[in-house]
Amino acid sequence: MEMERNLNQTLEPLNGSIDAIGSGKRLISIDLLRGVAIFFMTIIHTWTNVMDLTVFGSIDIANVNIFVAILGVLLFTLGHSRSLFLFLSAIIHQFNFLKAVEKGRNHENLLVKNLVKGLLMYALGLIRESIFNPWHGVLYLYPIRVWTGVDPDGLLNSLVQSQWQGMYLFETLQIIGLALIFITLTNYVFVKIRKMKRHVKNFLFYAVFAILAFTFLFATPFMQVRISEIVGWDITIGGYFNPFSENKEKFTRLIWYAIAGLEEPIFPNFFCVCLGCIFGYRLTQPNTDKHIARRWSLFALGLIMIGLHYWIFVEHLSFSLWFRVSPVWFLLINQGLYILYVCLFMRLFEFRKSADLYKYARNSTFLRRWGLLALSVYMLQLLDIYPRKLFTMITGMDFITHGKANMLWACILMVVAAFYFEVILRLWEKSGFLYLIILLPFLPILAIFPKTRAMITWNNAKKIAQENNFVFSFEWIVIFITKTISMVFSFLFGIVDVILWVIISNKRENTTGWKVFLKRATATWKNITFSRIKVEKSLYGVEPYIFIEHELKSRLEVSV
């Protein structure tokens, strides 16, 4: 019996370990700020798509109204909110990994799951930049060229042959995927270190990630110069569509642009990842309280001061609106501001005993909705081409070609984009919305069969979709594929464990391991094939989904 209990623990499969949308309990402030990041990134992308940005080249900064200047700085920093999203993602991944280990989850299974998920996110990033990119993706350029009548006959073939090279543009999804792999591997190493006192281990963790953070940041100029010399052109300003000198460059170019290319390379953006790891690690400690917000706010102010000093004395006040990779000084200042945002929200709500979390959850529903489906919003930003086409047809003005509109129309289209994507998210919120769209074309065919005719009504179809809790989104795809592949690896590891167990056990106990494994395998298979990823309605309604227990001495314990 003792052997069976031990083997049960060894062979325990992943049981839906990915934090599906709505499963588990989350920090409201983190999801709120994720929503802020993806919201401003989306609407400002629409604004830049239609705005004539050349007008900014002739602005006399000395005569700009102070309020307009403040608004411009705010929108500029929020428009570069991808580093905020990366910082928040690192906090979440770090926090989830350590909390899962504390709850007794097998860290080998966690390693496999997160590696698979990271690679999947990276692959989605490649697909997004080649097909779904809202500037040069195949699905973006195809309708534009059809509408403008530019070479409609050979259009699709030419797009597929050339635009796939957009995958070398290293953007948010790729770096989040690699960041998840980086966080998982480093944490796996620290989890394996068992014979070290807790305070020594904590100090070592903070020291290692702090050194890594500033190495990734300040080594950036050197890495950019060296890799540009290797590649043969300045990769910080473009070149990902350049022809290949040899076949192996089709692979090596992925590596070079990931390290120091466009738009969000490892150098310097893993600086944000490492700081997020430190912050997330700190949240898992038993003495987490309101003082963490105060201390990190002081640290954030220090980053801002260092950034200003670097800008003034190293960069000599050099500034450009059009940078594609965040300069060192800007990333220091921007990251300092983002840390202040996180600390402010958590100090006002999660760390305050008198905070009304029910009211907080209710009032933040609008932005949290964007944060919870951030992956789908990011993948589908190209859909803003359709309201722009509609406004082109209504007004006769050109909102399709980049850089044609004035400030007033650009702001109007920005508001339209916010409303447009909000409508899409609210429809997505309704369980089975896209499932019904897929089902509708088959209704006439199914209706000819007597046994199914009674079921083919709108209400029944909607009811079936709701009962299955099926929402087709990119979040769902990542969850389902990662879960399935990690289960396969769980099978393989389980078989290895059983074989080793049989080898070292007595002959009369040889069959026990296989019985336990087959029982687990059967349960796992049913879980893969018949379960559905549920989306709880409470996420989008007034019910809160965070539960925080304030203990003595303002200690905070967060369950995710």
- The full DSSP string for 312-361 is IIISTT---TT-SS--HHHHHHHHHHHHHHHHHHHHHTTT-TT--HHHHH
Q: What separation, in Å, do the N-terminal and C-terminal C-alpha atoms of the chain show?
A: 33
Distance CA(307)–CA(58), nearest Å, equals: 27
- Whether omega for the bond prior to residue 221 falls within 30 degrees of 0, making it cis, is no
In this prediction, residue 49 carries a pLDDT of 87
Q: Is the dihedral of CA 278, 283, 285, 290 positive or negative?
A: positive
pLDDT in tens, 297-317: 999 999 999 999 999 999 888
pLDDT in tens, 375-393: 888 988 888 988 999 999 9
In this prediction, residue 101 carries a pLDDT of 86
In this prediction, residue 106 carries a pLDDT of 77
- The full DSSP string for 81-95 is THHHHHHHHHHHHHH
Q: Where are the domains of the chain?
A: 27-78+358-422, 293-348
By CB atoms closer than 10 A (0-12, 13-18, 19+), residue 386 is: exposed
Residue of 244, 230, 228 lying closest to 165 (CA atoms)? 244
Residue of 443, 424, 426, 436 lying closest to 468 (CA atoms)? 436
pLDDT in tens, 93-138: 998 888 888 888 777 778 888 999 999 999 999 999 988 888 888 8
In this prediction, residue 446 carries a pLDDT of 43
Positions of the chain with pLDDT under 70: 1-26, 57-65, 68-76, 78-79, 151-160, 428-473, 476, 497, 500-502, 504-517, 519-560
pLDDT in tens, 69-99: 666 666 667 667 788 889 999 998 998 888 8
Taking a C-beta distance cutoff of 8 angstroms, is the pair 83, 335 a contact?
Answer: yes
Beta bridge partners of 405: 51
pLDDT in tens, 246-295: 889 999 999 999 999 988 999 999 999 999 999 999 988 877 777 888 89
In this prediction, residue 521 carries a pLDDT of 64
In this prediction, residue 477 carries a pLDDT of 75
